Homo-oligomer: A and B are copies of this chain.
């Protein structure tokens, strides 16, 4: 411990090393896959001793889980923060279109798409990775949406009996088409911002046609 405190960077240096390891490991995993990555490589890329990697992460699975958690939670939090809460007086259609567009543009990045592909490819061997991505990604996104819809239903602004179901339908109406294309057709199929806006608008139109109070 004393040795770490004397290094340049002082008190923060062990946190910095941890971040360097996570950054290096993300590069390696996304490029070479889970099986194609080893701890020696991560240590070399991060510029730390192999023992330092093991001091931070007991094994490769724990390291990858930390990356999946960090990347998916950062994505979910960015969506939540960018969309903001719905406020009285805001047009619901406008709010939901903005929410949909933000979610699409934050999630549909080559980095998150490749993370998702690597995790899915390893689900049968390492189920913990998939569980971690599901909980930090879609589950978290749908829980945030369910709160929005519960509030809109409570105020009598939308005809929603089951906010969890409405949140799941909203989420997948928005995400599925471009997400599943990106999974199978690669990053070249990620729509440009104008196409994402059009897709957000069409998805919200259908959602509101189903859930607007008659």
Residues of chain A at the chain B interface (Cβ within 8 Å):
33, 35, 114, 117-124, 127, 130-131, 133-134, 138, 165, 168-169, 172-173, 175-177, 179-181, 183-186, 202-203, 206-207, 209-211
B123 engages A183 (CB within 8 Å): yes
B186 engages A127 (CB within 8 Å): yes
Q: Cα distance A202–B207 when bound, in Å? A: 13
Known contacts A173-B172, A209-B209, A209-B210; is-contact A184 B130 (Cβ 8 Å)? yes
Q: Cα distance A119–B183 when bound, in Å? A: 9
| Listed A/B pairs (11) with beta-carbon separation below 8 Å | A33-B121, A117-B120, A123-B183, A123-B184, A130-B184, A130-B186, A138-B180, A179-B180, A206-B211, A209-B210, A210-B210
Q: Cα distance A120–B133 when bound, in Å? A: 15
Q: Cα distance A130–B172 when bound, in Å? A: 21
Residue in B131, B138, B183, B210 whose beta carbon sits within 8 Å of that of A120 in the complex: B183
When distances are taken between beta carbons in the complex, the residues of chain B under 8 Å from A186 are 123-124, 127, 130
Known contacts A172-B176, A173-B173, A210-B209; is-contact A181 B134 (Cβ 8 Å)? yes
A134 engages B185 (CB within 8 Å): yes
B119 engages A118 (CB within 8 Å): no
Interface centre among A118, A122, A177, A207 (most CB of B within 10 A): A177
